[in-house]
A and B are shown apart, each in its own frame.
Chain A
């Protein structure tokens, strides 16, 4: 039933996400630098970093086992599958039966958990600390993602992402309903926490007391580090794209290739816009104390719960 066109569209989607993710990170850093009064390294800098790292040999610390060595590959693999599954450019993916919310949340968690295991495997204090923090946040984030998307799926009657996006395209007023807005607010907080941005984690820091994500990848070098960095930026892109698809789904192509160039353009504009907005907000806020993070995430859980409740009592 899946047409060749669907395969082409999905392949384009994966390539765009893989190639565009470092550019998105570069764009966000550039916006941040400009707003902070610095010249910035340019949008292409993450790509130059990746090229440099990919030429270097990976170094493995002594006494590390298979979790440390396989983690970059698993993380990259799960990110690539995510990029293929989530409806970013097209709703007619050949992987459509797998584009279930639970599968997507599971893939996200798989990447995070492999990285946490790798960090524990190194046996260093930083790695263990980073892993413990990351898992704490993960445990608070996962239920919120699930509940927030329940609010969206309750009206459609399906947890299939493509079905939710298509239903929103047919009924644009749905986006302005309280259930959808509350779910959007909850998901924004969750995406910020999941991708390790301010105020939960500072992506620019290497200070041991504050870092979460960076603490886990300290021991990686060369190709492995390149894969981890690349996969992380792809996860950021996919999550921002997912937000855009769920709440601003205009322009996403259906089956057929004709609408694909427009969908590509719209996708780039939406994700770049979200990225610029995120990094602009980041300039104005400070990192939250680690012990205050559960408060923020409890808030987003309540928002998600309210979204579900209102999708029932306003139905």
Chain B
């Protein structure tokens, strides 16, 4: 990888990262959301791998492989198992903010992220920090998904997007966190996804739905 193509590959991976986050807001099918999350996992792993190759760092390459397996393989698989196959649960039918407005909000969040990260990018301009706005946008969009979607699984995907964004920000701004911290975070994430999967299954068997808005009142 030459110095000319390095920013190009990095930009493309960042574009994919951003696009898959927008796609999660765009689609209503939960299965499609999970697939997009898997695509985002690939993009995240690609960003880390590209930085690793550029810096000739074996550690980063290993972290990239681990990230790829966890976020493009294991977590989507767990989410798909939690999805089950009941058709009534397969769609995000009426999000709190409708899809067209969500997309416009995503556009606004992108501009906000760009405005917020400008001082950070100005600290040390490099191809890696130039795509910091994309990573921060993914954080904001993940948060937005978390608060505006009603299905438990859509919120889980939102949470995982948020974490993808945070990881990407860490790698782009600080060229990665220590391996042990990254391992800890990844393990944490896996546990969260497992717990949420159990919780979703329990929710469905107890209430017949995973619409979290139904949980406002106490039931006997």
Contacts and interface: CB of A to CB of B under 8 A. Distances in A.
A306 B110 contact: yes
B215 interface: no
A312 B7 CA distance: 15
B103 A298 contact: yes
Nearest to A177: B11
B100 A309 contact: no
A290 to B, nearest CB: 14
A222 interface: no
Interface string A271-315: 000000000000000000000001100110111011001101110
**Chain B residues touching A, range:** 20 to 34
A176 B26 contact: no
A187 to B, nearest CB: 15
A314 B12 contact: no
Contacts of B133: 309, 313
Contact of A310 (B7, B15, B103): B15
Interface residues of A, dominant DSSP: helix
B99 interface: yes
Contacts of A306: 18-19, 22, 107, 110
Given A299-B26, A306-B107, A313 B8 contact: no
Contact of B12 (A178, A303, A312): A178
Nearest to B111: A309
Interface residues of A, number: 20
A309 B114 contact: yes
A173 interface: yes
B130 A302 contact: no
B11 to A, nearest CB: 5
A302 B12 contact: no
B114 A295 contact: no
B15 A178 contact: yes
A305 B110 contact: yes
Contacts of B154: none
Give the 3 A-B CB pairs with smallest separation, nearest first. A178-B15, A298-B100, A305-B107
15 contacts: A177-B11, A181-B12, A295-B103, A302-B103, A302-B104, A303-B19, A306-B19, A306-B22, A306-B107, A309-B110, A313-B121, A313-B130, A313-B131, A313-B133, A314-B131
